[in-house]
Amino acid sequence: MVATAESCTGGMIAAAITDIAGSSDIFERGFVTYSNIAKVEMLGVSGETLSGHGAVSEAVAREMAEGALARSAAQLAVAVTGIAGPGGSDDKPEGRVCFALARDGAAIFSETRDFGPLGRAKVREATVLHALTRLLEGAHAAS
């Protein structure tokens, strides 16, 4: 079973999964945690991690994935947090997205991808595709 923890995609990964007939066989639930308070309340992300690293960080993505796994019946969880745009900063430019994958009994995987200033819709689309790819890889690694 799979769970999602989404910030910048606002539920688009869960929607992409549930667009497929029969997805109830593998999809357990999705968390849309757009605000920092939602990340804390729904996923147990530490306020210290948020203040120390910022919402767009691998540290926060890892805690989001861990929280989704702990707060669901899933065995595999993906988390995304990023800056879809417009905007950004020198430290965290538009198009930067942090991903994490948590799986029962395995180390958490995290990475940062810089998709560039493609525009909000395209960054979100690229994020969904990358997250789905990581989920498939995680599912295959578990089998």
pLDDT given for residue 140 in this prediction: 79
Mean pLDDT value across the chain: 96
| 142 pLDDT above the threshold of 70 | no
CATH code of the domain in which 32 resides? 3.90.950.20
Residue 143 has pLDDT above 90, yes or no: no
* Confidence (pLDDT) at 119: 96
* Tokens at 130, concatenated: 């990358």
This prediction's pTM:
0.96
Q: How many domains does the chain have?
A: 1
What is the per-residue pLDDT across 57-83, written as a single tens digit (0 to 9) for each? 999 999 999 999 999 999 999 999 999
**Structural domain of residue 28, as residue ranges?**
2-142
pLDDT tens for 114-136 read 999 999 999 999 999 999 999 99
